[in-house]
Amino acid sequence: MEMTASYDAVSAGDCTDMGPSGNNVLTIQLSPNCSLTSRGAALFFGSICLVSFSIALAMTLKGLWPVFPFAGLEMLLLGWALHASLQRRHYSQTITLTDERVAIRTQRRQLCEQVVFPRHWAQVKLRRADTHLHPSRLTIESHGRSYEVGSFLTEEERRALAGRLMRSVGRINESPPLENAPEGVRPE
């Protein structure tokens, strides 16, 4: 899990390292759990297509021709879902905490976005969902701006990250020095 943020700049495009100021840096790298590989997805999709089209062909030969177009539509939908799932592999967030700032860097393939907040003015908020069907939202806010972090995390992981960030970010008299902070955290 890693995050980079800037108080007065939100940029998209080429993400260059914003170079931490000060000696103490805490970096948290976040990325979705994507255990399905491209090869695994292709094998799965091919085997499901083989079974589905074999059944559809048998039905078509018996005179039930409308089954075949629906099988094709189902496979098209499955292919789209697998493609969307595989695209999540290219998404990551990096949170970098220094003595002066909280930086959030979000990367989706070649698109990169960076947001920076002053550390002692930033607030970490875990907002409850409106309904039980939606996940909570973890945001970092400062001076009327907010940025969502870890939208792909499970509820348990999001709460652990919120606790970790709340202990490290906040008002100048509440933010502990980073030199005592443990190394990177990956909620389990």
Q: In this structure, are 82 and 103 located in the same domain?
A: no
Asked whether residue 188 is assigned to any structural domain, the reply reads no
Q: In this structure, are 54 and 70 located in the same domain?
A: yes
Structural domain count of the chain: 2
pLDDT, tens digit (0-9, with 9 covering 90-100), for 81-126 = 999 989 888 889 999 998 889 999 999 888 899 999 998 888 899 9
Q: In this structure, are 103 and 55 located in the same domain?
A: no
Q: In this structure, are 30 and 97 located in the same domain?
A: yes
Q: In this structure, are 161 and 104 located in the same domain?
A: yes
Tokens representing 112 are 């990169």
Q: In this structure, are 110 and 72 located in the same domain?
A: no
pLDDT of res. 9: 35
Q: In this structure, are 120 and 77 located in the same domain?
A: no
Structural domain range at position 43: 38-88
pLDDT of res. 90: 84
Asked whether residue 170 is assigned to any structural domain, the reply reads yes
Q: In this structure, are 80 and 97 located in the same domain?
A: no
pLDDT, tens digit (0-9, with 9 covering 90-100), for 135-165 = 888 999 988 898 999 888 888 999 999 999 9
Residues in Cβ contact with 14 at an 8 Å cutoff, skipping those fewer than 6 apart: 112
pLDDT of res. 93: 93
Q: In this structure, are 56 and 129 located in the same domain?
A: no
Q: In this structure, are 152 and 170 located in the same domain?
A: yes
Asked whether residue 115 is assigned to any structural domain, the reply reads yes
Residues in Cβ contact with 151 at an 8 Å cutoff, skipping those fewer than 6 apart: 135, 137
* Residue % of the chain over a pLDDT of 70: 78
Sign of CA dihedral 122, 126, 129, 133: positive
Asked whether residue 187 is assigned to any structural domain, the reply reads no
Given a contact cutoff of 8 angstroms between Cβ atoms, the answer to whether 3 and 95 are in contact is yes
Asked whether residue 186 is assigned to any structural domain, the reply reads no
pLDDT of res. 15: 57
**Among candidate residues 52, 68, 88, the one where a domain is terminated:** 88
Q: What number is the average pLDDT over the span 60-69? A: 93
SS3 149: strand
Q: In this structure, are 23 and 73 located in the same domain?
A: no
Calpha distance 39→122 (Å, rounded)? 43
CATH code at 146?
2.30.29
pLDDT, tens digit (0-9, with 9 covering 90-100), for 24-45 = 788 999 988 888 889 999 999 9
Q: In this structure, are 166 and 96 located in the same domain?
A: yes
